[in-house]
Chains A and B, each alone.
Chain A
Amino acid sequence: MISETNIKNKILEFLREVPDPEIPVLNIVDLGIIRDIREHNNFVEVDITPTYSGCPAMKVIEDDIAAKLREKGINNFRIKNIISPAWTTDWISAEGRNKLREYGIAPPEEKSGDKNFLLGKTKNITCPHCKSINTILISQFGSTPCKALYKCKDCTEPFDYFKCH
């Protein structure tokens, strides 16, 4: 007989095969949006949380999870959207951060909940291409809600920064 922990781990591994629709280099487990998995009498419940309230990818993510579970022969499940505790970039795994960097997106460098944000006192962000810290913010808002746009003054390349949240 397989224990519940084993089933949960197994499902977690399945979900690692689901890429984030907007940043496909990350899977949804790396991104920290899978909050809990429960299994009882062959019924599986997966809790997910949005990165941002208006994240347009949530519906796609739900559909992708459902498709993956069915593909693995799990047909009895429910996907639940929860908003508390609020998603934070602190939940992006170390592996996820490395993947982001390799992909050309600078991973979040600060801890969330830092009030310095309000004052605009941010650290120098490291360029994911040439590793220089001689970089400048172009816009707080980038191609997706979770990213800001930066430019490196040394290698002159623009890059996305996964902003701290």
Chain B
Amino acid sequence: MEIKDLIFNYSLRLGDSSLVIGHRLSEWCGHGPILEEDIAMTNLALDLVGQARTILTYAGEVEENDRTEDSLAYYRDERGYRNLLLVEQPNGDFAMTMIRQFLFSSYQLLLYEKLQYSKDKTIAAFAEKSMKEVIYHVRHSSKWILRLGDGTAESHERAQNVLNQLWRFTDDLFDGDEVDAELTKLGIATDLSLLKPVWFEIVKKTFDEATLIIPQGEWMIRGSRKGIHTEHLGFMLAEMQSLPRAYPDAKW
């Protein structure tokens, strides 16, 4: 792969994960358990969709094929999407949304801490900017993990069930391929295998405190970097893309 293909691919991965989880969070709009949480989740969504706009715009520029943030978001099918499997999982109950967020935001924060020093100036600027927002996401979701895990018997049980369901998607976060390897050599990306133990320590500390147990021996599901997804992404995209596909001339 040429360097521009590598950067295009890498930017899609960053942007798609933010876009998909941002869209998932926006599905809560008007449905939050309390007003403050409705506002909090849509604020998170706003940050994440905003981040996606920046990096998908860059992907389009790098690709030099006249694709914009909008054409990349609305006119790719699920196999063209490069988001992590974790972020496309449905919202489920509030515990599911918060645990998904905590697992992802802790990962994103570690990743962006490294990428802010990327030799690609746009990726570095994107990471530096996004990191400041993600700090709040980690803080918000981790506090909910504590309340839910160490709350009532029901909240604990539901949080534990969710953690059991989502854990199988966590190896996928660190499943680097040749794109990561090549770009890491060039000082543009970072070695994901080095982030994994750090991430594990961070999430384990919070789960321990929340009296939640990380499942062991789960069958780990992977494939996001090749565009192989769980069944949920297609349905989400069908809804998210319906308007521009039905009315391709629609303008903002």
A interface vs B, CB < 8 Å?
A: 50, 52-56, 83-88, 112, 117-118, 120, 138-143, 145, 149, 163, 165
> Interface readout for B42-66 with A: 1 if CB under 8 Å, 0 if not?
0111111111011000000000000
Question: How far is the CB of A136 from the nearest CB of chain B, in Å?
Answer: 13
Most interface-central of B48, B126, B136, B143 (chain A CB within 10 A): B136
CA distance A83 to B126 in the complex (A): 7
A158 CB, nearest partner CB in chain B, Å: 11
Knowing that A85-B128, A112-B132, A118-B139 touch, tell me 9 more A-B residue pairs with CB under 8 angstroms.
A54-B53, A118-B138, A139-B40, A141-B43, A142-B39, A143-B39, A145-B43, A145-B46, A165-B132
Chain B binding surface, main DSSP class: helix
- Can you name the residue of chain A whose Cβ is closest to the Cβ of B44? A141
Q: Is A140 a contact of B136 with CB atoms below 8 Å?
A: yes
Are the C-beta atoms of A139 and B125 separated by less than 8 Å? no
What is the minimal beta-carbon distance from B188 to any residue of chain A, in angstroms? 16
Residues of B within 8 A of A139 (CB): 36-37, 39-40
What are 16 A-B contacts defined by CB distance under 8 Å?
Answer: A53-B51, A53-B53, A53-B130, A53-B133, A54-B45, A56-B46, A83-B129, A86-B128, A86-B132, A120-B139, A139-B37, A139-B40, A140-B139, A141-B140, A145-B46, A149-B36
Nearest residue in A to B43 (C-beta to C-beta)? Answer: A141
Contact with A along B15-40 (1 / 0, CB 8 A): 00000000000000000000011011
B241 to chain A minimum Cβ distance, whole angstroms, is: 20
Contact residues in B for A85 (Cβ distance below 8 Å): 128
Assembly CA distance A139 to B39 (angstroms): 9
| Closest partner residue, chain B, to A114 (CB atom) | B135
In the complex, the chain A residue whose C-beta lies closest to that of B22 is A54
- Give the nearest-CB partner of A81 in chain B: B54
B124 within 8 A of A: yes
- Does B135 contact A53, Cβ atoms closer than 8 Å? no
Question: Separation in Å of the A88 CB from the closest CB of chain B?
Answer: 8
Q: Which residue of A lies closest to B45 (CB)?
A: A54
Residues of A near B36 (CB, < 8 A) are 138-139, 141, 149
How distant is the Cα of A83 from the Cα of B121 in the complex, in angstroms? Answer: 11
- Give chain A nearest CB distance to B178 CB in angstroms: 28
Known: A54-B48, A145-B47. A86 touches B139 (CB 8 A): no
Chain B residues within an 8 Å CB radius of A55: 50
Contacts of B47 in A (CB 8 A): 52-54, 145
- Complex: chain A residue closest to B49, CB-CB: A54
In the bound complex, residues from chain A placing their C-beta under 8 Å from that of B40 are 139-141
Interface residues of B in 92-129 (CB under 8 A from A): 121, 124-126, 128-129
